[in-house]
Structure 1
Amino acid sequence: MAGPLPVGDPAPADGRLPASAAEAAAGVPFGAYVHVPFCRVRCGYCDFNTYTATELRGAKQSEYHEEVAREIDLAVAALDLSGVGPRPLSTVFFGGGTPTLLPAADLVGVLRRLRERFGIVEGAEITTEANPDSVDAAYLRALKDGGFTRVSFGVQSAVPETLATLERSHDPAKVPDVVAAAREAGLAVSVDLIYGAPGETLEQWERSVDMAIALGPEHISAYALIVEDGTKLARQIRSGVLSAPDDDLQAEMYELADERFCSAGFGWYEISNWSRGVESRSRHNLSYWSGADWWGFGPGAHSHVGGVRWWNVKHPAAYAQRLAIGVSPAQAREVLDEPTRQTERLLLQSRISDGLPLAVLGERGRRSVAGLIADGLVEPRAAVRERRLVLTRRGRLLADAVVHRLLED
C-alpha cells in the first residue's frame, strides 16, 4: 500500500467544489482516470495504492465496478451543484493495480457509465493498463468491442533475472504473443519498461530496449526505478540483500534508450515517453502535464478541476462504505493559489518536448535561461527562435536541477 495521503482541507460530503472552480474550468479539456486497486501479488518496488486479496478487509472485487458507477453519478451531481457542469471526456485511462484482473465486462461497464453520464468526444483516447499475463485474445477483443482504443502493457524487462528482482510474474517470452493479440483486436499498444533494478547491467537493459522496439508498439515508456520508503525493496536494500540503484548507470541506461528509440523512429515527447509520431502520444498523460482537468475515480485517486485538487480515501472498503450511503469518497482537498499553479505549470510543462513558453517565466527565470543554454541543459534554437524552453538530453537527466534554477535564480 502507498504511503499516507496529503493533508488538506475537509472535503464536503456532497463533493461540491468552491465557486472559483467554475470560472477556472471553463474551456479546459476534461478527462477521467479510473483506479483499479487490485493485484494478484505485490511487487517489491511498488508504492501505488494497491491491495492483494488478503488485504481487502471485506471489499469485493466483484462489486467494484458498481461502486465506481456510484462515484460517477456522484461526480455528475457534484459538478452540477458547483456550476461547472459535466464536460465530455477527451480521454479515459484505467490504471492500477491491475485493471485487467477485473472481467472485461466490468471495465466496459464502467466505460459505458462514463459515456452515458458525461459523454465522450469522438475519437477519444481510451486506455487500460494490463499485465501481459492478465489478458488473452478474447479479453482484448472484448475491450475493443466495448470502446477501448489502447492498451499499455507493463512489460518492465525482457530479462527473467531482472523481472524476478522486481517480483514481476509474467514470462517475457510470451509478451510478443499478447502484443500481437492486441494488434489483432485493433488496439494501439504501449510498452512500459523500468530500468536500474538492483543488479541489472547495461547489457541486460539493452536487451529490454531492443525487445520493446521489436514488439513494434506505437508508444514506449521507460522509467528509472525509484526506491520508495516503506516498500519491500527499500527494506531489502537497507538490509544489504540487494544493492541500491546506481545513478550514473541509470543515466547511461537512459541515454542508451533514447538513442535506440530515436534511431528506431520514436521521438521523445516527455522525459520518460517516446512515440511514433504526434498522433501516438499518450493524450491522457499529456493532459496532466499541460494542466487539464480530470476526475479520478476509485480509492486513493486524485482529481483536479478548476484549480481544486482532491484525493479519495485510500482503502477499497472505506471507499465502498462512503458511496453506499451517498457520501463523497473524497478525504481532503486544496484550492491552488495562482503562484502554486504557475510553479506546477513550470514543473510539468518543462518535461515535454513542446516546451514551456519563456513568457510564463518570471524575470529571474528568464535570466537563468542563458546559463542553462551554456551548460547544455536547454536547446538554444528553441529558446532563441521559438521562445520556448526545451530540455536537451542532458537537461532531461537533470530536469529537477533545471527547474530549481528557474525558480531560484
Structure 2
Amino acid sequence: MRLQPEGAALTAPAVATADGFPLDSLGPGPDAPFGVYVHVPFCASRCGYCDFNTYTPGELGGRGGTAEWFAALEQELELASAALGRTGAPPVVGTVFVGGGTPSLLGADGLARVLGAIGSRFPLAGSLEATCEANPESTSPEFFEGIRAAGYTRVSLGMQSAAAHVLAVLDRAHTPGRAPQAAEEARAAGFEHVNLDLIYGTPGESEADLKRSLAVVAQSPVDHVSAYALTVHEGTAMGRAVSKGLLSAPDDDVLAERHAMVDETLAAAGYDWYEVSNWAKSADARCRHNLGYWQGGDWWGAGPGAHSHVDGVRWWNVKHPARYAAMASAGEVPVAGFEALTAEERHTEDVMLRLRLREGLARSVLRGPELGRAEQLVAEGLLLDRAGRIVLAPSSRMLADGLAVRLLSA
C-alpha cells in the first residue's frame, strides 16, 4: 500500500475536478502525524501483475523523464510547503516514504536529492523515519551506503519469492538469492530497519515454494516483513493471461491457508503481526509511515498519480509524468481530482482501516447498531472483545474488509 491505504469506503464521496481544489484552506490536524510520500514512476521493465502508475523508458517515449520529474517534484513540494505553512511554519514531517515504481533506479545521488528537496521545504522530525523502496537488482553496497549517508533510515526490498519459476511468472528480474544478499548489504551499510516484501498465491506456486521463501526470510537480517496475497488486475499482462485461461486465478481458500502459513512461520521466527499484511520484530520496527495511513494521519503525496490526505480532504495527482511535469513547471497544482470526506465517510474509513490493525478499534468508536453487530460477530468467533477493543480473531484476518462491511451495514 503505497499510493493509498487498502480498504475501500462503503459509500463513494462526491468527487470534484481539480478546478475547485481547496489549496488555500488545507491544514493538517494538530494531533495527526504528518508524512510525505514521493512517487517515482520509473521502471526498467513492467512486471506482469503490476497495476501501479509506472512507466518504462519505451512507454514514456522521451517525455516526462527523470530530469523533468525532479524539477516538477521540487516545484510541487514548494507549493505544498507554502500551502500548509501559510499561517506559520509548515508541519513537521515525521515520516517520508519514497515508493514506485523503482526508486532505486534514481541511484543514491538521486534519492539524496529527493530527501534534500523535502528537508529544504519542511522541518524534519529528529526521529524522522525515511523509507526507500528498492528492487534488489538495482542496488549495491555503494547504493545502500549512499542513501544511508543521505538520511534514509529504512529500506524496503521487493523479494516476492525465493522460487525462480515464481519470479518468472511475476516477471521479476532478480535472481532468487539477490534479495537476501541485498538485505545483508543494507544492514552492513548501517540500516537497522530492513523490510522484505513477499507475494503469495502466484499461479504455479506450491506450498513448498512458499515454505522455502519464508525460510529464506527467517534467515535474513531483516526486522520487518510484508506479505501480500496476489491480486490479479484487469488490464495487466497477468490479468489477460488469466482471462484467456493461460494462468489460473488465485483460489481464495488457498490464499487463506497460505496467509495462515505465513503468520505461523513468521511468529515462530520472532515476528509479530501488526497489520493484516505486515509483521515486525519489535514496535520500533513497524513502518510508522504506513501506520499513519491506517490510523487516520495526514500526508502529502508528491509525484505522478500520488494520493494525499490532509484533514479530511483527499486528492490525487495526474498520472502521466509528462502531464505532471508540464502542470507543475507552469506553477499549477498537478491535481486530477479531490474529495472532501463527510463525517460519516471518515467514520467508515476509520473503522475499515483500524480493524486491520492488531490493536483493532475501541468499542467507543462504534455507533449504536454497530455495537450490536460487533457483539454478534464476537459471538460467531469472527471478532474478539479484548478489554473494550474489537479485534480480529486469528482465523479472520483475511476477512477484515468484509467484517468491517458487516459492522457498518445493516
User: Would the TM-score normalized by the shorter structure come out above 0.5?
Assistant: yes
CA contact (8 A) 1:25 1:84 kept: no
Question: C-alpha separation between the residues in 2 aligned to 1:85 and 1:326?
Answer: 21
CA contact (8 A) 2:187 2:194 kept: yes
| Aligned counterparts, 1:276-315, within 5 A | 276-315=281-320
Question: C-alpha separation between the residues in 2 aligned to 1:316 and 1:63?
Answer: 8
Question: C-alpha separation between the residues in 2 aligned to 1:33 and 1:7?
Answer: 24
* Aligned-residue offset at 1:84: 7.8
Provide the residue aligned with 2:187 in structure 1. Answer: 183
Provide the residue aligned with 1:407 in structure 2. Answer: 408
Unaligned ranges ≥5, structure 2: 4-12
Q: Deviations over 1:188-225 (max 9, x none)?
A: 21000000001111111111111111113110000000
% identical aligned pairs: 45
Larger RCO, structure (CA 8 Å, separation 6 or more): 2
CA contact (8 A) 2:158 2:179 kept: no
User: Is 1:268 aligned to 2:305, yes or no?
Assistant: no
Provide the residue aligned with 1:89 in structure 2. Answer: 93
Relative distance call for 1:350 and 1:69 in structure 2 (3 A) is same
Question: Residue 339 of structure 2: SS of its match in structure 1?
Answer: strand
Question: C-alpha separation between the residues in 1 aligned to 2:96 and 2:146?
Answer: 17
Provide the residue aligned with 1:396 in structure 2. Answer: 397
CA contact (8 A) 2:71 2:329 kept: no
Question: C-alpha separation between the residues in 1 aligned to 2:402 and 2:339?
Answer: 27
Question: C-alpha separation between the residues in 1 aligned to 2:311 and 2:400?
Answer: 27
CA contact (8 A) 2:68 2:325 kept: no
* Aligned-residue offset at 1:85: 5.2
Question: Residue 383 of structure 2: SS of its match in structure 1?
Answer: coil
Matched pairs, number: 397
Unaligned ranges ≥5, structure 1: none
User: Is 1:238 aligned to 2:243, yes or no?
Assistant: yes
Question: C-alpha separation between the residues in 2 aligned to 1:201 and 1:399?
Answer: 25
Q: Which moved more, 1:33-42 or 1:369-378?
A: 369-378
Question: Residue 40 of structure 1: SS of its match in structure 2?
Answer: coil
Question: C-alpha separation between the residues in 2 aligned to 1:350 and 1:84?
Answer: 35
**AA matched with 2:168:** A
* Aligned-residue offset at 1:80: 3.6
TM-score of the aligned structures, taking structure 1 as reference length: 0.94
* Aligned-residue offset at 1:76: 1.2
CA contact (8 A) 1:127 1:150 kept: yes
Query: Given the alignment, which residue of 176, 195, 202 partners 2:200?
Result: 195
Question: Residue 102 of structure 1: SS of its match in structure 2?
Answer: helix
Question: C-alpha separation between the residues in 2 aligned to 1:63 and 1:172?
Answer: 34
Question: C-alpha separation between the residues in 1 aligned to 2:291 and 2:340?
Answer: 22
User: Is 1:17 aligned to 2:27, yes or no?
Assistant: no
Question: C-alpha separation between the residues in 1 aligned to 2:140 and 2:47?
Answer: 22
Relative distance call for 1:328 and 1:18 in structure 2 (3 A) is closer
* Aligned-residue offset at 1:133: 0.5
| Aligned counterparts, 1:363-374, within 5 A | 363-374=368-379
Q: Deviations over 1:86-139 (max 9, x none)?
A: 201010000000001112111111211211211110111100000111110001
Question: C-alpha separation between the residues in 2 aligned to 1:349 and 1:263?
Answer: 25
Question: C-alpha separation between the residues in 2 aligned to 1:250 and 1:290?
Answer: 26
Provide the residue aligned with 1:210 in structure 2. Answer: 215
Q: Deviations over 1:283-309 (max 9, x none)?
A: 000000000000000000000011110
Question: Residue 166 of structure 2: SS of its match in structure 1?
Answer: helix
| Aligned counterparts, 1:242-253, within 5 A | 242-253=247-258
Question: C-alpha separation between the residues in 2 aligned to 1:175 and 1:318?
Answer: 34
Question: C-alpha separation between the residues in 1 aligned to 2:201 and 2:41?
Answer: 25
Provide the residue aligned with 1:351 in structure 2. Answer: 356
**AA matched with 1:10:** T
